[in-house]
Structure 1
Amino acid sequence: MSEAGGQPSRVRTIAVIGAGVAGRGFALACAAAGFDVVLEDVMPSNLRRAEAEFADLGDAAGRLELARTVEDAVRDADVAVDFVPDELESKLEIFSLIDRMAPPKTIICTPSEAMSITDLASCVYRPERCVAVRGRLGGAESVRVLYPDGVLPETLRVVGDLLRAFGAEPRMEPDPDVPVLMKNLTRKSL
């Protein structure tokens, strides 16, 4: 994600997976902040609602595009943010889909109050580009950005810059949720 001369590039396109209340609100906040957003949801009514709310924004600095599939949403994404239910099966499924369909540069960001980003990242080919956010995305408050071992500094910089664009103050922290499997392996190896 660097431009010529080694300067970091800015986030241009954000894929938002899930157009329920939280996903739709985040997508609209991204568009209002000047980002190009591709919003996907399995429910056409959620997408229509997002389209109407985007029209009500008036002169948004960014653009909102609606996608019918995850593949269409993440095709050119710099960052993909999921708003699927905060449960293991849903998160694993969406991480897998994004990982297979997005370009290698894409950062996978998940708002999660319950899931270990270490566990989720271990199931994809780009664990160094995965983070979890605890706190309200798109809000002007302090949010925790949790990351697994081996995360790229560029990943943290990009996510931090994105959150600061909304007035949030990101706190970068290693994932405190050491996976149960790792705890058991460590105990057995001692």
Structure 2
Amino acid sequence: MQPVVSPSPFEIRTVAVIGAGMAGRSFALACVAAGFHVVLEDVMPANLRRAEADFAEMDLGDSPGSLDLALTVEDAVREADIAVDFVPDELESKLEIFSMVDRMAPPKTILCTPSDALSITDLASCVYRPERCFAVRGGFAVGVSEVGSAVRLLYPASADAGTLAAAEGFLRLLRMNVQSEPDPDVPVLMKNQTQATL
């Protein structure tokens, strides 16, 4: 099933990264190096200090990328074009972060999650912007993939084609080899909701 058609292209400039552990920090700094404005959030100030120290050591050359730090999800996603979480790959954690970002981010914000275990259809069914939800599988889930490494960008049936193209372009700017495909997983929550209404 192909995503629905978007009326206009969408450009990603500001990236919110939720979680400044090793994978989140690595991803955030790769986004900065690629020229994005990044807002990195973590509830642990020590993680943000490590990210700040790593950023200070970067040689950005001519890259226009920049890094801001945030102690709350609300501050991180306030102007985000895309929000990428690095919370544990378990349903409860992902649902909590998707719900928070969905409430606090502007309508334009894409929700993207590294997940090797969960159905993006399920996660998308729990927010008000299911057409702007994507999951990434591959080395992305444990940090930034090596240059040219393959990642799978999974989308629900409700995905918007323009938003999907923007997410693909974003990952390609991070030098990932992106293959987009419909969510192959059986949506457990959707299945349970259907059974409950029978």
Q: Same fold (TM over 0.5)?
A: yes
Distance 2:10 2:136 in 1: 22
* 1:144 CA drift (Å): 0.4
Distance 1:18 1:91 in 2: 12
Distance 2:32 2:182 in 1: 29
Task: Identify if the C-alpha distance between structure 1 residues 130 and 7 changes in structure 2 by more than 3 Å, giving closer, same or farther.
Answer: closer
Task: Considering Cα pairs closer than 8 Å and 6+ residues apart, tell me whether 1 or 2 has the greater RCO.
Answer: 2
Mapped pair 1:24 → 2:32: no
Superposition map of 1:65-84 within 5 A: 65-84=68-87
- Number of residues paired by the alignment? 183
Superposition map of 1:4-153 within 5 A: 8-59=9-60, 61=63, 62-137=65-140, 138-139=144-145, 140=147, 141-153=149-161
* 1:154 CA drift (Å): 1.3
* 1:167 CA drift (Å): 1.6
Query: What RMSD, in angstroms, separates the aligned Cα atoms of the two structures?
Result: 1.9
What's the TM-score, normalizing by structure 1?
A: 0.90
* 1:136 CA drift (Å): 2.1
**Partner deviation per Cα, 1:32-78 (whole Å, 9 max, x = no partner):** 11000000001110000000000000336200000010000000000
Counterpart residue identity of residue 135, structure 1: G
Kindly, what percent of the aligned residue pairs are identical?
67
The equivalent of 1:178 in structure 2 is 186
What's the TM-score, normalizing by structure 2?
A: 0.87
Counterpart residue identity of residue 158, structure 1: A
Counterpart residue identity of residue 107, structure 2: P
Mapped pair 1:162 → 2:165: no
Q: Indicate if the aligned counterparts of 2:78 and 2:105 stay in contact, CA closer than 8 A.
A: yes
Distance 1:91 1:7 in 2: 29
